Amino acid sequence: MRIIPAIDIIDGKCVRLTKGDYSTKIVYNENPLEVAKEFEANGIKHLHLVDLDGAKSKRIVNHKILESIASATNLSIDFGGGLKSDEDLKIALESGANQITGGSIAAKNRPVFLDWIKRYGGEKIILGADCMNRKIATDGWLESSELDIIEFIQNYELEGVQYVICTDISKDGMLQGPSIDLYKEIIEVSKVKLIASGGIANLQDLIDLKEIGCEGAILGKAIYEGKVTLKELRDLC
């Protein structure tokens, strides 16, 4: 299972939120590139980079930070947040993203997202499936929908999606464990490569996710709060 640390960006800084609430913002580092380099120095190969300013403003904002990390490290970066148009996608890819994650666009503008899958393939375009009470949330989790998480994933699997990042928003930033039962259900009813996100608090959570068949696991606050060390992650990798 791939271990994927997260860097969330607001105002050019590395932050974490709780349950996606922007008012809970904690700044952990003024320099995201510094954080990314530390990850790489400890054997990390993958990075989940989220433009929270972009998610809120519904357009890519922090692409310069993506560009700086991509050019100064060898990390494989998946980038999301605010990707709403072909131009946003082009900027992200030209700035060095190896993959992009589309969540709101997949929920609210299916034809555009399907076109991205057709043009770039299921290896490049990740489906972002973030949910609260099993319903898909959009726009930096500021809006909710009536889309069922399982149906949402299955419908896009039929269209060629291979990778899915799923965050149970109720778990995000809580350090109380991931949504194992939800992830089990997704793995049982689909063949997507599931990347779990939200709630990871310790190494046992990562081991549990690996055992149920997750392809990857994203963690942020557990690292920044010292619940899991980079050395422990290196050893686990």
Tell me the per-residue pLDDT of 177-217, one tens digit each, with 9 for 90 and over. 999 999 999 999 999 999 999 999 999 999 999 999 999 99
Indicate the residue type of 237.
C
The pTM for the full model equals 0.94
Distance CA 167, CA 125 (A): 17
Distance CA 226, CA 158 (A): 40
- Catalytically active residues are 8, 130
pLDDT higher than 90, residue 161? yes
Helices within 14-109 (DSSP H only): 32-41, 52-57, 63-72, 86-94, 104-108
Distance CA 219, CA 224 (A): 9
At 138 the pLDDT is 86
Residue 227, Cα to own-chain centre: how many angstroms? 20
Q: β-pairing, 46-51 with 21-29?
A: unpaired
Give the H/E segment covering residue 236. helix 230-236
Each residue's pLDDT tens digit, 14-35: 999 998 889 999 999 999 999 9
pLDDT higher than 70, residue 140? no
Domains observed in the chain: 2-236 (3.20.20.70)
